[in-house]
Amino acid sequence: MDKNKIKITIGLLIVIVGVFAFMNRELMKEKGYAHENAQVILKEGDLEVVLNHENIINIGQVHFTAILDTSTTDPEEHTYTGVPLKKVIEEAGLSLDKKEIVIIKGVDGYTVALSIEEVLDEENAFLAYAVDGKALKPKNRGGSGPYQLIVRKDQFSQRWCKFVVEIEVK
Ligand SMILES: Nc1nc2c(c(=O)[nH]1)N[C@H]1C(S)=C(S)[C@@H](COP(=O)(O)O)O[C@H]1N2
Ligand SMILES: [Mo]
């Protein structure tokens, strides 16, 4: 390869990396915005619906207990406040018909998948916004919120996605 070709190749690579970095930054901005404003982005194919805190509260809050068990704590029962995940999806006008999974993402990129059966179980999968009567704080204030996925029937809390910003049905 002559020097010019090498230069052009390197130049192209720099542009490509730059474009991806920019796209990623735009993506992070969108999720960061949702996180800071207590919004959740719901997706189904090309359709995107944003729910804010008022929309989520209007679904009708429920109180439920769940056992929190992390690597650093012993199992403890807590009372959470939130809404069944299924109702959040319905509130956004999305359909679970003929879908296979629901993918939940945190602002830190943490991703959890639930089967449709798990989502349809209104005693199992919840989007919580308070624990023991206190609002879940966002990440920068040391909390696990403003929204956290609670999967009551999971013995360990790996799938309890903190800082939820996106819910996609597939
Ligand atoms: N967004 C997000 N949610 C998450 C995680 C994470 O890194 N990011 N870690 C998971 C794991 S492995 C556990 S055990 C629980 C509790 O994690 P913590 O003890 O760090 O709060 O949160 C789960 N949810
Ligand atoms: Mo963990």
Read off the pLDDT of residues 47-67 as tens digits, 9 standing for 90 and up: 999 999 999 999 999 999 999
Q: Whose CA is nearest to atom 2 of ligand 1?
A: 162
Q: Which ligand is nearest to the CA of 149?
A: 1
Q: 74-83, pLDDT tens digit by residue?
A: 899 999 999 9
Q: Whose CA is nearest to atom 4 of ligand 1?
A: 161
pTM: 0.85
CA dihedral for 39, 43, 49, 51, sign (positive or negative): negative
54 C-alpha to ligand 2 centroid (Å)? 31
- Amino acid 28: pLDDT: 63
Q: How many CA atoms within 13 Å lie on the side-chain side of 119? A: 24
